Amino acid sequence: MLKENGYQFIEETKLPNISESDQNLKKPQPPYETPLKNPRPLIGLPKPEGIDFGLYDLRKAIEERRSLRRYSDDSLSLVELSYLLWLTQGVKSIDEKRHVTWRTVPSAGCRHPFETYLSINRVEGLDPGLYRYMALEHKLAPIRLDEQFNAELAQACGGQRQVLTSAVTFIWAAVPYRTVWRYAERSYRYMYLDAGHVCQNLHLAAESINCGVCAIGYFDDDTVDALVDLTPPEMFVIYMASLGKKSPRNE
Ligand SMILES: Cc1cc2nc3c(=O)[nH]c(=O)nc-3n(C[C@H](O)[C@H](O)[C@H](O)COP(=O)(O)O)c2cc1C
């Protein structure tokens, strides 16, 4: 049976029901990146142009990808983390004329309405805790360095073990106004579609460096938003993915 509220959303976001956008009303557009609440020194990541893991067959990555929920105890290197961040949200260039960032993933209207948070468990050179990827700078901002963070996150995902045991869990937070500025109510469809592209890139990039991913859509929104210190509706967690090195035991 269809749940009425769910389809109501589709009904209300059909083109004839969309209100005039702030872009059409000539309001200024929001920044490409949400400023940090408390600015802090950023941690440099290896530059994408210097990263070379060799070629990996795309068809093999697509055919062999599956959701992986058990990982080895191995850590990820900072180079591998940099590679994964680059291929999921990396900013290839800023187009000042069109006021957009061109990234490694598609996004409706090139609005790119996400900030990527990371719950880090096992990455060489990084203390465990919560970080934010600063895509424009290709750097990391430490947000909450605390070994307990990941356990609390896993708890908020219904105790999903793959979050608890991940080397890193990607947490994608939506900043709706970046898309709403152009597409008004219809943006709430696009953001979820955009998020799917990001996670698929993570799946395929992970395959190429012997890692596995499990998308996470089951989580307690309010608890996760509070953990990451987000204030909905301006910003909220939309999707997550746990990731770790493949373990020969689990093949
Ligand atoms: C939007 C979305 C949300 C998902 N959420 C979860 C989740 O919370 N927990 C989980 O174990 N798997 C989750 N998955 C993984 C699916 O269960 C998995 O993709 C599906 O069973 C097919 O398996 P495969 O990815 O190995 O082909 C999610 C997948 C998607 C696309």
Q: Could you read off the pLDDT of 178-227 as tens digits, one per residue?
A: 999 999 999 999 999 999 999 999 999 999 999 999 999 999 999 999 99
Least Cα distance to 150 among 199, 115, 117, 114 occurs for 117
* Cα dihedral 141, 132, 67, 122 sign: positive
Which of 200, 216, 237, 243 should be mutated for ligand 1, with most atoms under 8 A from CB? 216
Instruction: State which ligand 1 atom lies nearest to the alpha carbon of 157.
Output: 8
* Cα dihedral 211, 216, 219, 223 sign: positive
DSSP collapsed to 3 states, the chain: CCCHHHHHHHHHCCHHHCCCCCCCCCCCCCCCCCCCCCCCCCEECCCHHHCCCCCCCHHHHHHHCCECCCCCCCCECHHHHHHHHHHHHCEEEEECCCCEEEECCCCHHHCCCEEEEEEECCECCCCCEEEEEECCCCEEEEEECCCCHHHHHHHHCCCCHHHHCCCEEEEEEECCHHHHHHHHHHHHHHHHHHHHHHHHHHHHHHHCCCEEEEEECCCCHHHHHHHHCCCCCCCEEEEEEEEEECCHHHC
**Cα 213 to middle of ligand 1, angstroms:** 10
**Cα 96 to middle of ligand 1, angstroms:** 38
Q: Give the pLDDT mean for 15-27.
A: 97
Query: Rounded mean pLDDT of the chain?
Result: 96
Q: Is the pLDDT of residue 1 over 70?
A: no
Q: Could you read off the pLDDT of 63-81 as tens digits, one per residue?
A: 999 999 999 999 999 999 9
Domains of the chain: 42-250 (3.40.109.10)
Q: Which pLDDT band holds residue 251 (cuts at 50, 70, 90)?
A: very low
**Cα 217 to middle of ligand 1, angstroms:** 8
Residue nearest to atom 6 of ligand 1 (CA): 216
Q: Is the pLDDT of residue 4 over 90?
A: no
Q: List pocket residues of ligand 1, CB cut-off 6 Å.
A: 66-67, 69, 160, 214-218
Q: State the pTM of this model.
A: 0.97
Q: Could you read off the pLDDT of 114-155 as tens digits, one per residue?
A: 999 999 999 999 999 999 999 999 999 999 999 999 999 999
Tell me which of 40 and 113 has the higher pLDDT. 113
